[in-house]
Structure 1
Amino acid sequence: MMPPEHLLVPAVARAGTILRECALQADETPELSTLADALRTAAARLAEPMRLAVAGQIKRGKSTLVNALLGEQVAVTGREELTFNVNELVHAASPTLTVHFRDGPARQVAPSMFARWTVRDEAHLADLVRVRKVEYGLPNPFLNDFHLVDTPGLGSVYGRDSANTLATMGVQDPGVLELLGRDPQTLHQESVDELDRADAVLYLFSRDVSNQDVAAVSAFLGDRAGMLTPFKAFGVLSRCDQSWPPVFGDPLAFHPLRDGASQVIDVYRGATDLSRLFYLVVPVAAKVAAGAQAMGEHHLGWLRELAAVPAAELAGELGDLREFQDAAGPLRPAYRKELVELLGAWGVHLACGALRDGLDPGDLAGHLVEESGVGGLRRLIGGHFGNRAGLIKLDQAMISVRAALASCREGLPPGSAAKTAADEVAKRIERFQRSEHGFAELTALAAHYQGATSLRPAEAEQLLQVTGEKGTSCAARLGFEDDEPVSRMMRRAKERAHQWNTRMNDPLTGRVDKQTAHTMVRSYERIMDRLQVAQRLLDPETC
């Protein structure tokens, strides 16, 4: 007997086949050419890495975070507001740069001109306002799994920059429209197009709660961002290192990510209903991580010299950067200044402390990346988003297809051949969604993240596990290491299916919890299907 289809063909592959077949079906009716294009685009996107957008108010450190995640200095950073256009960073065997214009075809330019097409420069403003997006290809490992989208920032004092990000995030602003001389319908369509291409979002907050941040989050929580759920969005509390040294307390004991960040996050939660949008809010010090990964041997030598200064004395000097730069002792003022510009005051303090405690200088960059929170953020992105990349992209593809179908069917006369053909495509898409268990898992996750369930901690952990938070193998979905015997995995899958079946049939279980329990039973049954196939393959008598 052949195993079920879901054991042989992954959902993304099945979806790609269905979407391409539906596109061919739509091609047979001239009125459905736009729908056919949308179906083919959705199918093609399933084969691409996830699109992870970095968004937020201006000067929240978005470009610095991009550099920290990539582990190299790619996006331009500085004291003034710099990023002008949406920049999409993608994987390529060698550096490439493509400029996509609003009013003409895309153009390949030299990669060395990246800053020329992305950084605010009044001398080139006429060219910059023509740019819709800049695509930069790099041989970077992070980009194997994610297309990283660096946005200019909401609420830019320059206006035009805000419009680029507003278009990316699906938020409209009539004042910006006036500056650009474009009508709301055009910007709305650009917003839909760009937002549809973003599979997941990292939204940066300031460590200092501002009215602008609260207003921007509220706009995010509005109906224009309804497709962004906690499943697809992280909040990032940026620049946490700037709270060091503390106004009160011991600078040697104060860790800005652990001490103080939680209070700021709680203030945001009190001002806005963050749980409606964000899976969680993670504190980071991206400057420390970006600088650590850009350090050269000469920087390590300077830090070793500084580590000879007593910890309390160095921390006192770092509390006033002018005093630190001009302080007597090891290291020239210019070198001290360069170190602070690279790592920030807390980063220098942290690095010297680690070297003072005997850390191998070769391990310093990795240590700083971890202490900065960026290492943990990478793992969260990989686990929460990366392990479920196929399902998230599949959900995004279905959202875009449903929108295209709604737009297409609206203008078709009842009973026409085109209407009949569009209805057939819609039925096939709907059948696929009903048959694909992953969509039920997405619904259960969304209910959990939004606080609609009353799961106990162990049950919530099982929900995250079985849906791929810790890995996509059967072992990881069951909470085991990958070398666990199949027999033990089968036993646990049966026990948990029974446990959730009992929960589902309990008359005291609420409607949402009952639906979640039903989904969990089905998830464990699917794992058992796979394990049965594995057992047959491992049984020598079946060879």
Structure 2
Amino acid sequence: MGLADEVLALLDDALAIYRDSPRAVTWLRAHRARFAEPLRVAVAGAPRSGKSTVVSALIGEELTSTGATTWYQDGPQPKAHVGHYEVPVVRRDGRAFVDAPDAERVVVEWPSRSLRDVTLIDTPAGAPVEHVYGEADAVLYLTRHMHNTDLRFLQAAHDHPVARATPVNTVVVLSRADEIGGGRIDALTSAKQIARRYRREAAVTPLCQNVVAVAGLLAVAARTVRPDEFAALATLAGLPRTALEEHLLSADRFVGDDFPVPLDPATRRALVDRFGIFGVRLTTTLIRQGFDTQVKLTGQLVQRSGLGELRDSIGIHFTERHDVLKARSALLGLDVVLRAEPRPTAATLATTTERILASAHDFRELRLLAAIHSGRIRLPDGLEAEATRLVGGLGADPLTRLGLDHEPRPDELHHVLHHTLNRWRDHAADPLLDHAQRRAAAVVVRTCEGLLTEQPA
């Protein structure tokens, strides 16, 4: 029985015990139903951390937040609801606005491939930790730099026995990476180095799965660049670098009257609004370097903005672990019931919850994946890449874990599994590895054993 099946059975036991409590039954049924839903990923952060910009980049549409908690989910056409009432979705200046100024919660349906597996929850700036984590299965926490206030927020999110035992549902995003170093052309490289440093900091690594750097404004522009914008950028790139350089020192200079090509101030102002002055600098440089079509340019912008790494991180740490994170949410939800309505007949539920948290291998895999990714654990001789793959870092299906690019015969699959298992058993007992490395190898061993038992005899 897998983790999800165990937790679903536990919820059924709880529903039987609390069948005389309408509030508990409603709460437990809601958590049970969530297993069939897309993963809920909340986007949180302080004011001006760029939450709505990152949400827009992930969805692939310029969306303007209403200030309410806004749920974005896949749908056949754009529409929005407040409770049971539909509210208008209007477009102004290329952006989509939801006309619901007084609402506390808005549900927006939007046709987007990115929303098929994930529901994004754009939380109000500075929302308290219980509001952010209360209904989400995972969280993207946005910040410009990691400050003590950020650490306190993340620590509060884990100030619960279930959350502390399974700190596997948060990715930190340095969301305005283009502002690092005064917006120099190498700002994104510097920001990615800072993100790598944060991954290794003792105060940060226990609180999140990963730290990534994203230039939000550039990421949105990469997903939504229009032909007229590309044409304007190509015109700028056609200028000699020296002729354009002094006009790219600030937004004011860029929209000034003494511009060397006939691009009107309104067009230039629109470029700055969409790309930022850093983005204009970068795009013109890339076009000169040969990324001189719209398709080539947008591909580069997605990669360089950090959006590609963010999407990969969401996939590896969140959507590939849908059932694990749903099970974690359900255990937290069950704990709410046990604390709110304690009763002697529910003692077995608490015991089973503790057993699942202590023994669930899925949680161990996620913790190991984060430890390898952050650099807290180093494995020698190429073992890191294999360990990452085996514990699901590239995908959770058996063939991806084993690195097989074809459908093997049953006997071939068993041979590969036995060979892999025996090698990792040797690593787990290798006296030349330190204690942390042997423990990591033991997690991989348990993964291989699980893959082997899942195969038909």
Query: Is the TM-score greater than 0.5?
Result: yes
The match for 1:373 is 306
Alignment partner, residue 88 of structure 1: 71
Distance (Å, rounded) in 2 between the aligned partners of 1:301 and 1:446 = 42
Assess, with a 3 A threshold, how the Cα gap between structure 1 residues 138 and 390 changes in structure 2: closer, same or farther: same
Alignment of 1:479-498 (within 5 A): 479-483=403-407, 489-498=413-422
Q: Is the 8 A contact 1:22 1:36 kept in 2?
A: no
CA contact (8 A) 1:304 1:355 kept: yes
Does residue 1:64 correspond to 2:47, yes or no? no
Is contact 1:230–1:450 with CA below 8 Å preserved after alignment? no
Given residue 119 of structure 2, which amino acid in structure 1 is its aligned partner?
Answer: H
1:529 corresponds to which letter in structure 2?
Answer: T
Contact 1:51-1:149 at 8 Å conserved across structures? yes
Alpha-carbon shift at residue 145 of structure 1 (Å): 1.0
Find out whether 1:297 has 2:227 as its counterpart.
yes
Asked if residue 470 in structure 1 is aligned to residue 394 in structure 2, the reply is yes
Query: In 2, are the aligned partners of 1:23 and 1:37 still within 8 Å (CA)?
Result: no
- Which position in structure 2 is the counterpart of 1:237? 174
1:22-421 pair list within 5 angstroms: 22-26=13-17, 28=19, 30=20, 32-76=21-65, 84-99=67-82, 106-112=83-89, 115-117=98-100, 127-128=102-103, 131=104, 133-154=105-126, 165-166=127-128, 169-170=129-130, 191=131, 195-206=133-144, 209=145, 214-226=147-159, 227=163, 231-243=168-180, 254-259=185-190, 261-263=192-194, 266=197, 273-326=203-256, 327-358=259-290, 359-409=292-342, 412=343, 419-420=344-345
| Offset from partner CA, 1:226-264 (integer Å, 9 cap, x none) | 327653211211222234766xxxx6xx32111355247
Of the structure 1 ranges 56-65 and 289-298, higher mean CA displacement relative to structure 2 is found in 289-298
Shift of residue 431 of structure 1? 6.6
Amino acid at match of 2:394: K
- What's the C-alpha RMSD, in Å, of the aligned pairs? 3.3
Q: CA deviation at 1:351?
A: 2.2
1:268 and 1:14 map into 2 onto residues whose CA distance is 32
Instruction: Pick the aligned partner of 2:446 from 522, 535, 539.
Output: 522
Letter in 2 for 1:255: D
Describe the shift of the 1:380–1:11 C-alpha distance in structure 2 as closer, same or farther (beyond 3 A): same
Local SS of the residue matching 1:117? coil
Distance in 2 (CA, whole Å) between partners of 1:222 and 1:307 is 47
* Partner residue, 1:539: none
Deviations 1:53-102 (A, max 9, x none): 111211011111111111111234xxxxxx52221111222333222xxx
Rate the CA distance shift 1:467–1:323 in 2: closer, same or farther, 3 A.
same
Contact persistence 2:167–2:206 (CA under 8 A): yes
The answer to whether the 8 A contact 2:200-2:374 is kept is no
The answer (yes or no) to whether the contact 2:72–2:107 under 8 Å persists in 1 is yes
- SS at the partner of 1:259? helix
Residue 371 of structure 1: how far off its partner (Å)? 1.6
Tell me which amino acid in the other structure corresponds to 1:96.
K
For the residue of structure 1 that corresponds to 2:72, the secondary structure is strand
Change (3 A) 1:27 1:294: same
Structure 1 residue ranges without an equivalent (≥5): 1-5, 77-82, 100-105, 119-126, 155-164, 171-190, 413-418, 537-543
- In structure 2, what residue type is equivalent to 1:242? E
- Residues 107 and 373 from structure 1, CA distance in 2 versus in 1: closer, same or farther, beyond 3 angstroms? same
Which stretch has the larger CA shift, 313-322 or 381-390? 313-322
Equivalent in the alignment of 2:94? none
* SS of corresponding position for 2:263: coil
Amino acid at match of 1:214: H
Is the contact between residue 236 and residue 283 of structure 1 (CA under 8 Å) also seen in structure 2? yes
Give the 3-state SS of the residue equivalent to 1:328 in structure 2.
Answer: coil
Deviation at 1:382, TM superposition (A): 1.2
Does structure 1 retain, via aligned residues, the 8 Å contact 2:389–2:403? yes
| 8 Å contact kept, 1:303–1:348 | yes
Report if aligned partners of 2:250, 2:277 keep a CA contact under 8 Å in 1. Answer: no
Distance 1:265 1:205 in 2: 15
Distance of 2:435 and 2:56 partners within structure 1:
45
TM-score of the superposed pair, with normalisation by structure 2: 0.84
Change (3 A) 1:486 1:305: farther
Q: For the structure 1 residues 223 and 436, does the alpha-carbon distance in structure 2 shift closer, same or farther, using more than 3 Å as the test?
A: closer
Q: Give deviations 1:368-421, integer Å, cap 9, x for gaps.
A: 122211122112211221211221211221222133224322xx3xxxxxx33x
Amino acid at match of 1:49: P
For structure 2, the residue ranges without an aligned partner over 5 or more in a row are 91-96
Contact 1:202 1:233 (C-alpha < 8 Å) held by counterparts: yes
In structure 2, distance between residues paired with 1:447 and 1:289: 28
Hey, what's the Cα distance between the residues in 2 that align with 1:95 and 1:146? 17
Cα distance in structure 2, aligned partners of 1:384 and 1:268 = 15
Who wins on radius of gyration, i.e. which is larger?
A: 1
Contact 2:371 2:377 in 1 (8 A): yes
1:108-164: CA deviation from partner (whole Å, max 9, x where unpaired): 23242754335xxxxxxxx45xx2x2221212111111111112222xxxxxxxxxx
The change in CA–CA distance for 1:503 and 1:268 in structure 2 (over 3 A counts) is closer
How far off is 1:519 after superposition? 3.5
* Equivalent position SS for 1:87: strand
Secondary structure of residue in 2 paired with 1:149: strand
Contact 1:26 1:35 in 2 (8 A): no
Map residues 10-29 of structure 1 onto 2, 5 A cutoff.
Answer: 11-12=3-4, 15-16=7-8, 18-19=9-10, 21-26=12-17, 28=19
- Of all paired residues, the percent bearing the same amino acid is 29
Structure 1 residues 431 and 35: alpha-carbon distance in aligned structure 2, compared to 1, 3 A threshold: farther
Q: TM-score, normalised by structure 1?
A: 0.72
Equivalent residues, number: 444
